[in-house]
């Protein structure tokens, strides 16, 4: 169950967190997001590495 959730939800969420972190570093409007942009990228990267190593079990025929 967790393996399927990992591939279906957690990997894409981690990718979007990385994208949001890059956007946060590049935008000049909100100082909070600009200051913590690298940390947001790092959290997304660690999550992506963790969840990408959890592959679903092969389905039986």
DSSP calls for 30-47: -HHHHHTHHHHHHHHHHH
Compute how many other C-beta atoms are within 10 angstroms of the C-beta atom of residue 9.
Answer: 11
Question: What does the pLDDT read at residue 11?
Answer: 92
Residue in the block written with tokens 């409007």: 29
- At 27-48, the pLDDT tens digits run 989 899 899 999 999 999 999 9
Tell me the whole-structure pTM to 2 decimals.
0.85
Task: Say what percent of the chain tops pLDDT 90.
Answer: 54
Residue partners of 57: CB distance under 8 A and separation at least 6? 3
Mean pLDDT of 19-28: 94
Looking at every residue in the chain, the average pLDDT score rounds to 89
């Amino acid at each position: 169950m967790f393996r399927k959730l990992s591939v279906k939800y957690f990997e894409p969420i981690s990718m979007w967190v990385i994208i949001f972190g890059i956007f946060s570093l590049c935008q000049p409007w909100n100082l909070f997001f600009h200051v913590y942009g690298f940390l947001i990228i790092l959290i997304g990267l660690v999550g992506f590495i963790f969840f990408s190593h959890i592959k679903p079990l092969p389905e039986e025929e």
